[in-house]
């Protein structure tokens, strides 16, 4: 089966993401440096070229260094419709820390460059200057978040999002006693991918992985996301067929080809589709049973 666009992108995804941030911030640094030089000329200030270039490069180098921290912080406090109400305050506080680290770092770099040039850098009044810098940094922080969320939404649409099929309209509700004895387990899932919809069978799920607010489903060599926790989703699957093998993984036992023991009591599961998933010592004995 030929690989789709998402699967072709996966091997270069990390490099492409790093390249995006480096190129975007580098272009912004070049543009702002040119503007700073032009502004200095308009004001008829005799400023050596290296000084406005140092101002902008020091600022943008720190912004680039802070990108991984913003990504990690947003993962810890995700901004979704369900979490926005309780997590926005964390990001407001995060923007303050973001600005402090940015300003302290860029001022330190400027002092170092000026010292090498035999000059002295004067940042001015910290209270006044930092507030001015914070007004710019909070916009930059928000732009970083918008970029992350937009990219995540794009990747979700590219990868495909699955959901449990709704019960047919007019279907009879199971009796309470029967519902308690046999919990309803979906047989199929609806997948939306690039404006197309199709069905996947629950029995075709080879393994599952917890991915933040989603569960990644490996189905016939393809990956899909379903909005649920791994624990909640496992409760909907047949426990005789699907087993938790790791804090973040579960496997279809019919698709396990080999259990490879590892040092420390852990193991590696070789799946029939050629992929490998971890099996922690905590779940290994239960898997054998």
Q: Is this prediction's pTM over 0.85?
A: no
pLDDT in tens, 248-271: 899 999 999 998 888 888 889 999
Q: Helices (DSSP H) in the chain: which residue ranges? A: 5-9, 13-42, 50-76, 84-116, 126-159, 176-181, 230-234, 281-288
Evaluate whether 208 touches 233 at the Cβ level (below 8 Å).
yes
- Domain residue spans of the chain: 5-159, 184-288
The rounded distance, in Å, linking the Cα atoms of 218 and 224 is 7
Contact partners, residue 51, CB within 8 Å, separation at least 6? none
107 phi-psi bin (left φ>0, alpha ψ -120 to 50, beta other): alpha
Confidence class for position 173, pLDDT limits 50, 70, 90? very low
Evaluate whether 53 touches 33 at the Cβ level (below 8 Å).
yes
The rounded distance, in Å, linking the Cα atoms of 221 and 286 is 26
Enter the tokens of residue 212.
Answer: 């933040």
Instruction: List strands edge to edge, sheet with 242-246.
Output: 196-201, 188-193, 161-164, 222-227, 214-219, 205-211, 249-252, 242-246
Of 87-91, 95-99, 163-167, 210-214, least confident by mean pLDDT is: 163-167
Quote the crossing angle between the two packed helices 50-76 and 13-42, to the nearest 10°.
140
Fold of the CATH domain 184-288: OB fold (Dihydrolipoamide Acetyltransferase, E2P) (2.40.50)
pLDDT in tens, 14-71: 899 999 999 999 999 999 888 887 877 766 666 788 888 898 999 999 999 999 999 9
CA angle 23, 27, 32 (to 5 degrees): 150
Residue 242 CB neighbours (<10 A): 23
């Amino acid at each position: 089966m030929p690989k789709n666009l998402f699967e072709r992108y996966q091997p270069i995804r990390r490099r492409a993401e790093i390249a995006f941030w480096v190129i975007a911030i580098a272009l912004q640094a070049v543009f702002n440096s040119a503007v700073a030089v032009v502004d200095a000329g308009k004001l008829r200030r005799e400023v050596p070229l290296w000084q406005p270039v140092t101002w902008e490069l020091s600022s943008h180098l720190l912004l680039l260094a802070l990108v991984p921290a913003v990504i990690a912080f947003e993962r810890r406090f995700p901004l979704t419709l369900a979490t926005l109400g309780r997590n926005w305050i964390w990001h407001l506080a995060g923007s303050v820390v973001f600005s402090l680290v940015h300003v302290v770092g860029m001022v330190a770099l400027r002092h170092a460059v000026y010292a090498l040039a035999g000059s002295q850098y004067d940042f001015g009044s910290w209270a006044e200057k930092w507030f001015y810098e914070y007004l710019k940094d909070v916009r930059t922080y928000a732009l970083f978040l918008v970029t992350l969320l937009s990219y995540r939404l794009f990747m979700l649409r590219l990868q495909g999002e699955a959901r449990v099929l709704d019960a047919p309209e007019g279907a009879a509700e199971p009796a309470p006693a029967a519902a308690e004895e046999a919990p309803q387990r979906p047989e199929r899932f609806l997948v939306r991918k690039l404006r197309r919809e199709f069905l996947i069978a629950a029995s075709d799920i080879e393994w599952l992985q917890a991915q933040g607010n989603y569960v990644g489903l490996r189905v016939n060599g393809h990956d899909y996301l379903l909005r649920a926790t791994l624990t909640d989703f496992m409760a909907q699957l047949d426990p005789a067929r699907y087993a938790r093998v790791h804090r973040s993984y579960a496997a279809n036992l019919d698709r396990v080809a080999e259990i490879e023991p590892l040092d420390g009591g852990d193991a590696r599961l070789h799946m029939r589709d050629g992929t490998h998933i971890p099996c922690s010592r905590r779940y290994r004995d239960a898997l054998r049973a």
